[in-house]
Amino acid sequence: MTLPASALPVEAPPAFLGVAHSVTGKLWRDRLHARGAARAQAIAQRYHLPEMLARVIAGRDVEIDAVEDFLDPTIRKLMPDPYTVTQMEAAAKRIADAAARNEKVAIFGDYDVDGATSSALLAWHLRHCGLDPLIHIPDRIFEGYGPNSEAIRTLAGKGATLLVTVDCGTTSFEPLAEARRLGMSVVVIDHHQTGDQLPEVDALVNPNRPDDLSGLGHLAAVGLVLVTLVAVNRELRARGFWTSERPEPDLLGMLHYVALGTVADVAPLIGLNRAFVAKGLIAMRRRDQVGLTALMDVSRLNGPPEAWHLGFMLGPRINAGGRIGRADLGVRLLLEGDVSEAARIAAELDRLNTERRVIEQMAEAQAEAEALASLGLEDKGSVIVTASEGWHPGVVGLVASRLKEKFSRPAFAIALEPGGIGTGSGRSISGVDLGKAVRQAVSDGLLMKGGGHAMAAGVTLRKEKLAEFRAAMETALAHDVAQARHVNELFIDGAVSARGVTTELAATLNRAGPFGSGNPEPVVALPSHQLVYADEVGQAHVRVRFKSGDGAIVNGIAFRAVGQKLGNALTQHRGQPLHVAGSLAVDRWQGTERVQLRVLDVAVPDQGPVMIR
C-alpha cells in the first residue's frame, strides 16, 4: 500500500552527496524531505513535467492543485480588491479629486530604483489624466532619505496642492506636518516598517502599518503604487472621467516599471510580486519603452531580459544617479520619450555606474580590513559596524552588502562627515530583523535617524555614539545571529552530470521562474566531477571547467571568488574530483547560446562510492 504524501515523515534529509562540511563550511541538504519528494513525484505524474522541474516546484512549497497557477502566475487572479489596504479608499478618492480638478500634484520619491520606478509610474498616470506633476527626488548627501521641510516648501511655492510620497514618508512626521500647515493634502504610499506612531496625513497607504490586514506587506513600493492606481482608475471610472478622447490608461502595459522596482528592491517573488515580475519581463522584451530600451542597450544586455538582469545590470545603473550623480536621472530616463535623449541619459548613468564601482571597491577594501580587525582571529562578534571618513555616502549600502556576504552576519557601513555626523546603511542575514533593532536604537537616543525593514536599514548618528551603537547592535542581535548561523546550509534541488547540463535543462528549470528573493534559483549538484581548468578572470572571478566520468565537459564561473574560500579551493584542487553545486545560466554571445554553471560551492568527495539520493 502506498502512503499519501501527507502521511510521510518530515524529518530532515541526510547530507546531500554526504557533504556535511563543504569548502565554504556549508552542510548540503536535499531541498525536499520525504513528503516533498512524494509531492514532486505526484506533480510530475499529474502534469507530465520533467522530474527535475517537478522537484523544483515542490521545493518551493507549491501544492499539487496550485502548479498551473505557479507556472503561469496571472495578475487577474492574484490582484486583490485595493480597498482591503487600510486607507486606500481615501487615497484613491483624493488622487481622483486632483485629476478631476486639474490640481498641481507633487510627487516626492526615494532615490533608489523602487523610488524611481514608483515616481515614474505615478507621474505617467497623472500625465495621462491631463496633469503636469512636479517630481522631487532628494539628493542622498544634501537632503538624505525621505521628505524634508525645505523641499516641501519649494513644492508648495510652485503651487502644489497635493503631495504624494512614494517609497518614503511613513516616519516623516515634521516635514509632512509642514506640508499640511502650508495647505497641502498629503497621501503617503510606502512599504517600510512603521512604529506605533503614524504621521497625520489624508491617507497613509502602507500594508506594513500595524492596523493593516491586507497581507500585502511583501509588495515593493512600485507594486503598491500600481494597486493604488487600480483603485484610482476605478474611482475615476465611476465618476465618468474616462472618455473616448481620454481613455482609461492601461496599467498592465506599464508592468516593466513594476518588475524593475520589485526585483531591485529585493522584494520576495511570491504571490502578486511574482506575477508582476513575470509579466513585466514579457513587457520589457517588447522593447517599446524608450528609456528602458536605452538602458538595456547601454548595459549590453544580450537576449531577452531575465530577473537577474534587473537586479544586477539595470537596477545598479538607475541607482547610480541617486548614489553619486543627479538623483532624478533615473526617473527622467524612465519617463523619456525621445530616443536620442534617452540614449544620452542612459550613457550618463552607465558612466556613473562605472565610477560608482571604483569608489565602492576602495571603500570595500577599507571596510573589510576594519571588519577583520574587529572580528579577530577567533571570528568573534555577531554584527559588523564599520565607519570611516572619506567614504562616499552613496556606496555604503553596497559595502554593507558585501561585508554581510563575506562574513555571514549583519553588517553596517557608515560614512563619517567632517562635522562628525555619520550616515550609513545596514544589511542583514535571513532570520535577523535589522529594522526592528535600528528603530529601538532611535528610541534609545543612539541614532539621530534610522529605519528600514528586516533585511536592510539606514542610520544617521553622531561619531561619538558609534561605539555605543555598535555595542547596542551586538546586544540586540547576538541571539538571533547565533541561531541563524548555527547551521549554514546549502539546499540542493537535484543532481545532474555534465552531459545533462544543457540549454534545454536551463529552459526547463526557468519555467519555475522568475527567480530571486523568496523564489530561489534552482541549485544542482554535479557529483565527483574532475576540475580540469580553473583560472582567474575579470573582476576577481574564477572561470572553471569540470569533466564527468563519460568525458562530457561543463563550463562554469565562480563570481567574486578570488581570495575567498571557494576561489582558493578551486585553484588548489585543479585536476582533482570535486562535488560541485551551482545554478544554470544561459550565456549568449554573437547569436549562439551555451549553458554554464554559476558555481556556488564545492566539496572534496569521500573516498567511498557516491550515492545520489
Instruction: Give the pLDDT confidence of 312-326 residue by residue, as tens digits.
Output: 999 999 999 988 878
Mean pLDDT of 404-418: 93
Instruction: Give the pLDDT confidence of 115-161 residue by residue, as tens digits.
Output: 999 999 999 999 999 999 999 999 988 888 889 999 999 999 999 99
Task: Return the CATH fold of 78-249.
Answer: inorganic pyrophosphatase (n-terminal core) (3.90.1640)
| Cis peptide bond prior to 13, omega within 30° of 0 | no
Give residue 127's pLDDT: 97
- For the beta carbon of residue 327, count every other beta carbon within 10 angstroms: 24
- Helix-helix angle 339-375:290-298, to 10 degrees: 50
Instruction: Give the pLDDT confidence of 49-78 residue by residue, as tens digits.
Output: 999 999 999 999 999 999 999 999 999 999
Give residue 271's pLDDT: 93
Judge whether residue 13 has pLDDT over 70: no
Q: Which residue has the higher pLDDT, 462 or 430?
A: 462
Q: How far apart are CA 573 and CA 136, in angstroms?
A: 54
Q: How far apart are CA 204 and CA 120, in angstroms?
A: 20
Phi, psi of 236 (to 5 degrees): -70, -30
What residues does each domain of the chain span?
5-31+493-603, 78-249, 381-486
Residue 465's closest CA among 478, 450, 448? 448
Judge whether residue 2 has pLDDT over 50: no
Please answer whether residues 586 and 593 qualify as being in contact, where contact means their C-beta atoms are separated by less than 8 angstroms. yes
Residue that the C-alpha cell 500595524 belongs to: 210
Judge whether residue 399 has pLDDT over 80: yes
Residue 11: pLDDT band (50, 70, 90) is: low
Runs of H (alpha helix) within 205-312: 221-238, 255-264, 271-285, 290-298, 307-309
Q: How far apart are CA 56 and CA 82, in angstroms?
A: 32
pTM of the predicted structure, to 2 decimals: 0.89
Q: How far apart are CA 404 and CA 429, in angstroms?
A: 7
Give residue 12's pLDDT: 57
What average pLDDT does the structure give for the chain?
Answer: 92
Please answer whether residues 399 and 413 qualify as being in contact, where contact means their C-beta atoms are separated by less than 8 angstroms. yes
Task: Return the CATH fold of 381-486.
Answer: Diaminopimelate Epimerase; Chain A, domain 1 (3.10.310)
- Distance from the Cα of residue 464 to its chain's centroid: 33
Give residue 613's pLDDT: 38
Please answer whether residues 200 and 171 qualify as being in contact, where contact means their C-beta atoms are separated by less than 8 angstroms. no
Length of the chain: 613
Judge whether residue 610 has pLDDT over 60: no
Q: How far apart are CA 419 and CA 463, in angstroms?
A: 9
Q: How far apart are CA 108 and CA 305, in angstroms?
A: 29
Please answer whether residues 521 and 492 qualify as being in contact, where contact means their C-beta atoms are separated by less than 8 angstroms. no
Q: Determine the Cα angle at 95 with ends 94 and 99, to 5°.
A: 115
Mean pLDDT of 386-411: 92
- Strands (E) located in 395-540: 411-416, 421-427, 449-452, 456-462, 489-492, 494-495, 524-537
Q: How far apart are CA 501 and CA 498, in angstroms?
A: 5
Judge whether residue 375 has pLDDT over 90: no
Residue 284's closest CA among 514, 519, 110, 68? 514
Residue 265's closest CA among 400, 415, 126, 115? 115
Residue 3: pLDDT band (50, 70, 90) is: very low
Which secondary-structure segment (H or E) carries 594? Answer: strand 592-603
Give residue 1's pLDDT: 42
Please name the CATH architecture into which domain 5-31+493-603 falls: Beta Barrel (2.40)
